[in-house]
Amino acid sequence: MAENDYVIRVLDSPGQVDAGEWNALLALQDPASGLNPFMRHEYLSAMSESGSATPATGWTVRFFTLSHGNDLMAACALYLKDHSYGEYVFDHAWANAYHQHGLAYYPKALVAPPFTPVPGPRLLARDAASRTLLVKVLVAWCSEEKLSSLHLLFASDADVAACEEAGLMLRHNVQFHWTGPPGGYRDFDAFLMSLSQDKRKKIRQERRKVREAGVRFRWSLGKDISPGDWDFFYSCYERTYYEHGNAPYLSRDFFQRMQDSMPENWLLFVGERDGTPIATSLIAVCAGGIRATGQFDSANSAKVAYGRYWGATERVDCLHFEACYYQPLQWCMEHGYQRFEGGAQGEHKMARALLPVKTTSAHWLAHPAFADAVERFLAREGEGIEGYMEALERRNPFRQSGEDQQALLAITPE
């Protein structure tokens, strides 16, 4: 199709999209969000090629590209879904309402990396006009395909602006992220001294319990992660899902592809007792940017880490907090990382100094009456989210301005 001199293509395989062109377009997005690894061509390809996100698992991919001449102006990955699992923005009530009225909610269209509740760019574009056109193309295509709805999840600010301009409805949720101060912390104890006394004491007690249980942690980054450690990680990851009565979303082959194609984006912590591994957590890191040629560049990037997966073969009190929060936070402080995103949900993260951050998704529903009903629902839900954010902010774990700021410079055990 051609519209205003754009050539619009809808492709059904990551192999039909040039990886270098895709990654180069990703590199042009807002550095605060655009350099996370979850929109890299390698990541999306691994989702499909490993069998993790395929028609058999309810994810049928369509890559949209908008070109002008020889230039790729905008692109996105859209998934046709026949369920709402692996998304982390819940629309089950919408699907039930459709069903109760004799209408089909599935298939629907989703624009977001599978199983990845991490804010970032969804609509890769060279400029605002191309991004807005891409949204309109998606809506028109969904309408032509007679899909019930279109959903862009955990979108960037630029994506949200384009979706608003195209008339989509916005929905907000809350995650918990840690952000370091300008210049960072001298060490983990200096970070602790920035917290209120009760939070500081609690963290020290929790870390002490893990040490007294004889558990010690080591970490490996990128190609230093051994095949044996990847295997142990996957056994823990798989065990965590089965313990909750679910099959794991991601296959071992997916992580093998991560090891092979983008190892620089992965940081692994392994907890050992008497030299035997008993726990692990896998963290994604934005360790570099992408050159205009689409090649990885470790010298140009905002430094952000993302909590992703964890598991253990033994139950140790507070082991989860140590593996998923304290070890990654300490590593971030020691390596100059400015932000650690803790993943979906979890008020308990506030006690570990991860503060509430509002996330945004955008939605289009084809049925006018249901669109009106959802718009009213979102208005009420949005008021609730604002109240929730205000309540969370009153529970700020950091020292308040009236407290003794000299404590920030002291390292005094309690």
Residue 400 is given by DSSP the state P
pLDDT at residue 191 above 70? yes
H or E element: which one contains 381? helix 368-393
Reported as a single tens digit per residue, the pLDDT across 120-162 is 999 999 999 999 999 999 999 999 999 999 999 999 999 999 9
Distance CA 139, CA 405 (A): 53
Distance CA 321, CA 398 (A): 18
Q: Find the mean pLDDT for residues 281-290.
A: 78
Q: Would you say 126 and 28 are in contact if contact means Cβ atoms under 8 Å apart?
A: yes
Distance CA 151, CA 183 (A): 38
Distance CA 137, CA 131 (A): 10
pLDDT at 406: 44
Reported as a single tens digit per residue, the pLDDT across 230-263 is 999 999 999 999 999 999 999 999 999 999 999 9
- Global pTM reads 0.92
Q: Residue 113, exposed/middle/buried by CB under 10 A (0-12, 13-18, 19+)?
A: buried
Q: Would you say 26 and 124 are in contact if contact means Cβ atoms under 8 Å apart?
A: yes
Q: Find the mean pLDDT for residues 67-79.
A: 95
pLDDT at 94: 97
Question: Which residues are paired to 309 by β-bridges?
Answer: 282
Of the chain, the percentage scoring pLDDT greater than 90 comes to 86
Q: What domains can be seen in the chain, in order of their start residue?
A: 2-174+358-392 (3.40.630.30), 177-357+400-409 (3.40.630.30)
